């Protein structure tokens, strides 16, 4: 028996939510977690018209032209298949369901038979063993291995970090990895044709997942549309910021076009600030006020929390919501980013406000942003 630890990086995502792979990194270890084959990267020409700009700027560890000279996915399919479907191999990854989905995306694109295998998630295992929330690889690596995950987002390096976290868990618990998986069944998943998922959820294809998400999203809309095509939210959700809504359109345009309009102390001069999705997505009117105040104080509001200087957390115990932004912030900090975290009350104190006083402030007039000249 042996363990395959693997990770994938993608060049882009198409309009259907499918991803194009440019690297498959892996490491092989024996049943006692001794390395059999050190980490390797299989580079793949992603065959895309345009790479995601963030990938090129922040993630890609190789010259783009070098990657584009490599074989396409269908030419390395057999090699990857032999790694994944070997009867002697237990397949492991970190947040591995995402990577399994990427593999099946490419099988579908190139009309290859879908990979058939079981997989095990080290991210889920780490959370179960340490009885903590799900965290990104960088944060989990710091927790279990005691050092920063330098070079993360290169797939062979991430495969090695996943192996090292798994080994650290085995060493601390004094248990074999296979036994830990048996004790924590929610770490296991599998593929079935183009369907995939964990043992504690329904197996779905990419399109079925997308349809379920859309069905859930549509419950917030009235069924009517604005003249510009934006959907109208039901009355009870009028303060939500949801994709496809008028609120979302106005919020994004304000981020692009906000200008200082009130004289305030420059307490956020040069700072990028992002607020938890637990607040941002459900407080449209107050978010407009906050974006304007941050601008007036010399700062900039950003949706992408991992590039922020200040991240504002917000607990929503009543609705049991979790914030994906916070996970990315903790991951960025684990990789060396200098991001200050403060809670919402502390943030409002910086503005000399309470939440009640924020609620009572007059609404921002942003209807001018509906003009087509503000369209990107």
Indicate whether 369 and 253 sit together in one domain.
Answer: yes
Segments forming the whole domain that contains residue 305: 219-374
φ/ψ of 306, rounded to 5, equals: -70, -15
- pLDDT over 90 for what percent of the chain? 72
Indicate whether 291 and 355 sit together in one domain.
Answer: yes
Q: Give CA 110 to chain center in angstroms.
A: 26
pLDDT tens digit sequence for 292-313: 999 999 999 999 998 999 999 9
φ/ψ of 255, rounded to 5, equals: -60, -35
CB 50 within 8 A of CB 13: no
CB count, 10 Å around CB of 244? 17
Length in residues, the chain: 376
CB count, 10 Å around CB of 183? 13
Task: Supply the pLDDT for residue 18.
Answer: 85
Identify the domain boundary among 193, 212, 231: 212
Indicate whether 42 and 90 sit together in one domain.
Answer: yes
> Number of structural domains, the chain?
2
Helix axes 246-257, 284-296, angle to 10 degrees: 0
72 pLDDT higher than 70: yes
Identify the domain boundary among 212, 238, 261: 212
223 pLDDT higher than 90: no
Indicate whether 207 and 351 sit together in one domain.
Answer: no
Q: What is the DSSP letter of 322?
A: -
pLDDT tens digit sequence for 130-178: 887 778 888 899 899 988 777 667 899 999 999 999 999 999 999 999 9
DSSP 3-state of 37: strand
Task: Supply the pLDDT for residue 139.
Answer: 86
Q: Which two tokens stand for residue 135?
A: 């965290």
Enter the pTM of the model: 0.77
Instruction: Look at 103-107, 133-137, 138-142, 266-270 and tell me which has the smallest mean pLDDT.
Output: 133-137
Identify the domain boundary among 164, 181, 212: 212
Indicate whether 61 and 20 sit together in one domain.
Answer: yes
Indicate whether 142 and 225 sit together in one domain.
Answer: no
Q: At 81, is the pLDDT very low, low, confident or very high (cuts 50, 70, 90)?
A: very high
Task: Supply the pLDDT for residue 288.
Answer: 97
Indicate whether 167 and 258 sit together in one domain.
Answer: no
Region 99-104 average pLDDT: 96
Indicate whether 62 and 122 sit together in one domain.
Answer: yes
pLDDT tens digit sequence for 22-66: 999 999 999 999 999 999 999 999 999 999 988 998 889 999 999
Task: Supply the pLDDT for residue 115.
Answer: 97
């Amino acid at each position: 028996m042996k363990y395959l630890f693997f990770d994938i990086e993608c060049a882009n995502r198409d309009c259907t939510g499918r991803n194009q792979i440019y690297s498959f990194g892996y490491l092989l270890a024996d049943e006692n977690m001794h390395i059999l084959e050190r980490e390797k990267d299989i580079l793949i020409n992603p065959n895309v018209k345009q790479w995601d700009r963030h990938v090129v700027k922040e993630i890609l560890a190789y010259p783009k032209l070098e990657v584009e000279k490599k074989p396409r996915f269908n030419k390395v399919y057999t090699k990857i298949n032999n790694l994944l479907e070997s009867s002697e191999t237990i397949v492991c990854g970190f947040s591995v369901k995402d990577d399994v989905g990427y593999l099946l995306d490419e099988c579908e694109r190139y009309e290859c038979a879908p990979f058939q295998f079981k997989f095990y998630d080290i991210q889920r295992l780490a959370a179960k063993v340490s009885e903590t929330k799900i965290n990104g690889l960088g944060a989990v690596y710091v927790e279990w291995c005691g050092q920063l995950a330098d070079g993360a987002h290169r797939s062979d390096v991430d495969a090695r970090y996943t192996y090292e976290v798994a080994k650290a868990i085995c060493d601390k618990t004094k248990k074999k990895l296979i036994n830990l998986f048996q004790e924590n069944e929610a770490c296991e998943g599998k593929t079935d044709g183009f369907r995939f998922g964990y043992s504690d959820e329904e197996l779905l294809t990419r399109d079925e997942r997308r349809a379920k998400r859309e069905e859930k999203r549509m419950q917030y809309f009235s069924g009517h549309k604005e003249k510009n095509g934006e959907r109208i939210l039901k009355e009870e959700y009028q303060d939500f910021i949801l994709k496809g809504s008028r609120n979302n359109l106005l919020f994004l345009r304000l981020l692009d076009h906000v200008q200082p309009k009130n004289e305030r102390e420059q307490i956020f001069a040069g700072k990028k600030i992002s607020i938890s999705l637990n607040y941002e997505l459900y407080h449209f009117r107050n978010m407009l006020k906050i974006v304007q105040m941050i601008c007036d104080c010399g700062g900039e509001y950003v949706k992408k929390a991992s590039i922020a200087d200040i991240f504002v957390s917000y607990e929503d115990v009543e609705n049991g919501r979790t914030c994906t932004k916070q996970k990315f912030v903790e991951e960025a900090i684990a990789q060396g980013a200098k991001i200050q975290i403060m809670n919402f009350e502390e943030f409002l104190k910086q503005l000399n406000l309470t939440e009640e006083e924020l609620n009572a402030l007059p609404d921002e007039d942003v209807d001018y942003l509906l003009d087509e000249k503000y369209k990107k």
